[in-house]
Amino acid sequence: MAAATRKRPAPLGTSSCSPAAAAGKKRARYEFGSIYNYEKLEVLGEGTYGVVVKARDQRTGETVAVKWIRPEGGCAPDLRAVYREAGCLEGCRGHPSIVQMKEVAADEVTGDVFIVMEFVGPSLESRLTRALSGAETRAAMRQLLRGAEKLHGAGTVHRDIKPDNILVAPGGALKICDLGMAVPARPAGEPYPEETVAALWYRAPELLGGARNYGPAVDMWALGCVMTELLIGEPLFRDAETEDDVLHRACDLEYAMESTDLAFEDMPELSEAGREVLRGLLSFKAEKRLTAAEALAHRWFDEEDAPLSPALCSQPDRSGFINFI
């Protein structure tokens, strides 16, 4: 992405590596904007599949986040991945708990493709330095469950919910982001092609067991892991190094939640109603796991929330965004 002083290139489609050329003769599903409308400010995250930068829309002065989709082999961008992610974001347009897409933009010379989104703030992972109270956790989970309800209602499975992929706005609003691994939900019994999805510590038991036909319940397990992390201030499976480690600890957790109170000994402020929600999210069997709508209808959410701590919501000098790994 170039600064505004760069000469505007030829119209979209004139380069052999343009999005139009990469898509072949098929009509593009999106009308691409120009990346030259944006001025790069700083890099926020970088990894195998792309880069996210903080940028300024030179037409409006608005600060945005721009995700570059790294080309796969040669110069052609993976337009299917772009369309899939943009389509999932489009399906959630307007929801306050999901990061909002502004447009899909392209570099008319190189053919690189970008998803332009609202700039929110740092990741929850970067700001969570202490355990939250039960009331703070409820306020956070209310937002995240509403976001998951919207995603699943739109027929999307996120498949990578974790604190790194949750953004914290200055006023305390939380937004689920990075839908790069999200896909339209498949009919029951129809497998997904990917062998591995979701970060290890947030990977549901059915995924750990190698299942490739699953559903939105994998996101609910991940939200149960996030809820626990909010309550204890650190990842639930932080010492696990392999899938077997997480799977064995998940089995132990199931027993501890159903048979004893040991699973909640580090959560003294969590009410019995809150424990019921956590048990439901972290049910070992996917078919017994709470849906987002069921969780939100639980009596725990009849209790009063507390605003998130100013320390959690305050902006650091360098705002974080999506962590590509």
Distance CA 190, CA 192 (A): 7
Binding-site residue ranges for ATP = 67
DSSP state of 127: H
Binding-site residue ranges = 67
Contact 116, 33 (CB under 8 A): yes
DSSP state of 165: G
Helix 134-153 vs helix 272-281: crossing angle, to nearest 10:
40
Helix 217-232 vs helix 134-153: crossing angle, to nearest 10:
160
DSSP state of 235: -
Is 266 a residue of the active site?
Answer: no
Instruction: Name the pairing type of β-strands 50-57 and 38-46.
Output: antiparallel
Distance CA 239, CA 78 (A): 35
Please name the residues in contact with 125: beta carbons below 8 A apart, sequence gap of 6 or more. 162, 163, 164, 166, 323
Select which of 57, 78, 112, 160 is catalytic. Answer: 160
Contact 84, 76 (CB under 8 A): no
Could you give the residue numbers annotated as active site?
160
